[in-house]
Amino acid sequence: MSSQALTARTLAAIADSQQGINAFLYIDREGAMNAAREADVRRRMGKPLSMFDGLTCAVKDNIDVAGMPTSNGLGYGDTAPLAREDAPVVARLRAAGVIILGKLNMHEVALGATNDNPHWGRCENPLRAGYTPGGSSGGSGAAVAAGLCAFALGTDTMGSVRIPASYCGVAGLKPGREGLTTAGVTRLCRQLDTVGPLARSARDLRELWPILNGTANNQVPPARRTDLGSVRWAVLEDCAGVGVEEGISEAFRDLAKRLPGAGHVPLNFSAIDFSAIRRAGLLLCEAEANVTFSAERQRQPQLFSEQLRGLMQWGAERSAPELVQASDKVQAAGDWLRQQLQNVDFLLTPTAPQTAFPFEQAVPVNQANLTSVANMAGLPAISIPLGDSAEGLPFGLQVIGAVGSEVALLAISVALQEWLAEHDLAVTA
């Protein structure tokens, strides 16, 4: 199929899905079709820019795309400022021939994990109407799961790529702190923020990674399939202690019991006070959001929901000692996690303690417990699909690697996903 035909079909699917899923905030139909025509010309000449030339991507609306609005999920309507240039991660995709379809729905300023946006409307989970796709990159997870793009970009501060990946049954990568540049991205918390891709599988993410991090021209071809039997695993032991739903716990325990490896080290998270570090991480986000958006909040308060204004005001009223103490708690949690990985290769946990839930349900307080610690440690982490609940909702497996291990993490995740399929372990819990 030509890129033009594929892109036209995708744009039609997006239009049909907007009333039900509402994944997109802005669609660049003309730009996408022009890029598709150019991709077809290159392919006819035998000069594609990359293996992704002519494929489609969509971008979370806190990441700049030249000529497109960056609303950060705020109530701009059609008055959002247009980005003057691409964020570097977007520029690298364009240089590889990737077609940028538009901007994706998100939780307001990325400060939340349901994607129940008061200005643009809820982004629905394509697998279950009335259920959250997760957040804050909910539009990214929903768009990939619904087949509205080949892959998407999101941001992850405490789990905002991996939680939507888990809830929507796709794969999502949070690189390490230095893994990808965050230039051209509206920051929520500099201590925790990352940019990350979502795709249908870990294999797609592995192929995409060299383009995103700018090493596509000097990558060695991937080696033969990674041997899981040589891996030293750390495995979360106390699923009940962190409130993981029983169906997810059962599937995770079955995986841990049958997974080959050079050793399985049980890891107990009881040393972590999740309530304290969760509050500390959120406080840093609230305080920094107040600084980032203070001018706009003064000039155009109507852009912000009452709830968001309250969160930002709370951050504004915190003292310097309180913010330092919060930063210290986050740093200590990260130090602890890095220490646990010193004598193993990878850590396995469920991605989230629960599956997607109805918008009307209160957000579980432990939603980001297992994901946020990787941000605090600055470590790369990925979510791949593990199984489905008895209600038919997907849940993910999180794999956390050491600093700078993105290539190895992606390779092991591809092998894991293939092993799960071969051993019929990606099953209903």
Please give, one letter per residue, the 3-state secondary structure of 63-114.
ECCCCCECCCCCCCHHHCCECCCCCHHHHHHHHCCCEEEEEECCCHHHCCCC
Q: What is residue 424's three-state secondary structure?
A: coil
Known catalytic residue at 160: yes
The residue type at 255: L
Q: Which two tokens stand for residue 329?
A: 């708690």
Exposed (0-12), middle (13-18) or buried (19+): which is 254, by Cβ within 10 Å?
middle
| Choice among 3, 136, 166, 389 that is catalytic | 136
To the query of whether residue 136 is one of the catalytic residues in this protein, the response is yes
- Whether 261 contacts 232, CB under 8 Å: yes
Residues near 11 by beta carbon (within 8 Å), at least 6 away in sequence: 27, 29, 32, 33, 101
Q: Which residues, 6 or more positions from 317, have their beta carbon under 8 angstroms from its beta carbon?
A: none
Largest Cα–Cα separation, the chain:
62
Contact 105/25 with Cβ under 8 angstroms?
yes
Marked catalytic residue, from 17, 50, 71, 160: 160
Which of 3, 60, 137, 329 does the annotation list as catalytic? Answer: 60
C-alpha–C-alpha distance, residues 142 and 163, integer Å: 11
For 314-348, the DSSP string reads HHHT--HHHHHHHHHHHHHHHHHHHHHTTT-SEEE
* 71, 230 Cβ separation under 8 angstroms: no
Catalytically active residues, by annotation: 60, 136, 160
